[in-house]
């Protein structure tokens, strides 16, 4: 079997690592930043995916490219439709987001009707509907906050927080905005298992519901960093449209389909740190032999 990963973002990197043993060949694409020598440049809005695949049969396609932030919805509709028609015989794993909900309810289930309020959320809904329309075999995956290490690198959110802590800056986070964080490794594990399954539909891939403040606090503690400059505050009454109060997701279906049981923030980061440390020790021992 062959696979393709469209968009080698942080999640794309982890999916590549977890998929190597399952597929004979994996074709990688990138938009601007080439992380792998074999990765091919691909722009959804201007390029034909057939030129990337060169008539190779792609059994599973992971779509992780973050194309939904565009302001040109018509172009997105045209480009995504063209792309999906070209790959309609592959199993499509489309990575969506919790941003497809308005955040007024929380702990959303897969059966809840999407109610996007932002342009990003509306574009997600558009792409999900196009996947359902054109793909013969698909799974729409909705992650929430993804965090942690990939190939020994910490995610951008916590890297920024670490830098702020080192500079002694005050870190403010909302106590009344809720997410469902899950580390990159478990997110990828769930997605790769869903890719190999016969399930068709939507799956929420996420963890425990918690506030942004609690998430940050637990993450700092797990990384061995001080929380003395972390301050919890409430969202402004006149908040921007992209401040969604509660987009936490129910992960019951994910666990039932994949047997992935979310680790908490401290446990997840601690395990990733231990894995990274053991791998470095193994490399050092190999070098000293």
What is the DSSP track for 15-33?
HHHHHTTT-SEEEEEESS-
> What average pLDDT does this structure show over 9-37?
92
Span of 110-124, 222-236, 246-260, 262-276 with lowest mean pLDDT: 262-276
Specify whether the CB–CB gap between 213 and 174 falls below 8 A.
yes
User: Strand (E) positions, 192-247?
Assistant: 201-205, 210-211, 230-233
pLDDT value at position 272? 52
Q: Which domain holds residue 20?
A: 2-288
Percent of the chain at pLDDT exceeding 90: 84
Specify whether the CB–CB gap between 149 and 156 falls below 8 A.
no
As given in the structure block, the two tokens for residue 29 are 């694409």
Considering the chain, what is the average pLDDT of its residues?
Answer: 91
Coil, strand or helix at 90: coil
C-alpha span between 264 and 133 (Å, rounded): 36
* Helix or strand run (H / E) with residue 2: strand 2-6
Residue 242 has pLDDT above 60, yes or no: yes
Number of domains the chain contains: 1
pLDDT grade for 279, boundaries at 50, 70 and 90? very low
Residue 260 has pLDDT above 80, yes or no: yes
Residue located via tokens 């999906």: 84
> What average pLDDT does this structure show over 107-133?
97
SS (H, E, C) 70-130: CCCHHHHHHHHHHHHHHCCCCEEEEECCHHHCCCCCCCECCCCCCCCCCHHHHHHHHHHHH
C-alpha dist (Å) from residue 10 to 182, 232, 278: 14, 28, 22
pLDDT grade for 278, boundaries at 50, 70 and 90? very low
pLDDT grade for 165, boundaries at 50, 70 and 90? very high
Specify whether the CB–CB gap between 182 and 146 falls below 8 A.
yes
For the domain that residue 113 is a member of, what is the CATH number?
A: 3.40.50.720
pLDDT grade for 130, boundaries at 50, 70 and 90? very high
Reading phi first (left if > 0) and then psi (alpha if -120 to 50, else beta), residue 276 is in alpha
Handedness of CA 134, 257, 110, 11 (dihedral sign): negative
Residue 90 has pLDDT above 60, yes or no: yes
Q: Between residues 189 and 281, which one has the greater pLDDT?
A: 189
Specify whether the CB–CB gap between 171 and 109 falls below 8 A.
no
First-residue to last-residue Cα distance in the chain? 38
**pLDDT per position as a tens digit, 177-230:** 999 999 999 999 999 999 999 999 999 999 999 999 999 999 999 999 999 999
Residue 281 has pLDDT above 50, yes or no: no
Number of alpha carbons in the 13 Å side-chain half-sphere of residue 97? 24
C-alpha span between 222 and 265 (Å, rounded): 7
> Who contacts 78 (Cβ-Cβ below 8 Å, separation ≥6)?
none
> What average pLDDT does this structure show over 219-242?
93
């Amino acid at each position: 079997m062959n696979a393709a990963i469209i968009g080698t973002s942080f999640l794309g990197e982890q999916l590549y690592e977890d998929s190597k043993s399952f597929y004979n060949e994996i074709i990688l694409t990138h938009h601007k930043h080439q992380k792998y020598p074999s990765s091919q440049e691909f722009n959804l809005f201007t390029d034909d995916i057939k030129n990337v695949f060169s008539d190779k049969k792609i059994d599973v396609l992971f779509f992780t490219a973050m194309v939904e932030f565009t302001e040109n919805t018509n172009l997105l509709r045209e480009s995504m439709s063209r792309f999906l028609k070209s790959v309609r015989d592959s199993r499509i794993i489309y990575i969506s987001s919790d941003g497809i909900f308005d955040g007024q309810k929380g702990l959303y289930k897969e059966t809840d009707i999407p109610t996007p309020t932002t342009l990003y959320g509306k574009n997600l809904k558009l792409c999900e509907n196009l996947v359902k329309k054109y793909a013969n075999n698909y799974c729409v995956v909705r992650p929430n906050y993804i965090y942690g290490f990939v190939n020994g690198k910490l995610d951008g959110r916590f890297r920024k927080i670490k830098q702020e802590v080192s500079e002694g800056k005050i870190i403010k986070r909302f106590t009344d905005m809720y997410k469902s964080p899950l580390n990159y490794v478990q997110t990828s594990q769930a997605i790769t298992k869903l890719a190999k399954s016969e399930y068709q539909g939507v799956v929420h891939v996420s963890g425990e519901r918690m506030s942004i403040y609690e998430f940050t606090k637990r993450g700092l503690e797990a990384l061995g960093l001080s929380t003395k400059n972390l301050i919890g505050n409430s969202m402004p009454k006149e908040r921007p449209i992209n401040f969604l109060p509660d987009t936490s997701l129910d992960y019951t279906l994910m666990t039932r389909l994949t047997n992935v049981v979310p680790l908490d923030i401290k446990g997840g980061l601690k395990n990733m740190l231990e894995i990274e440390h053991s791998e470095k020790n193994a490399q050092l021992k190999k070098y000293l032999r």
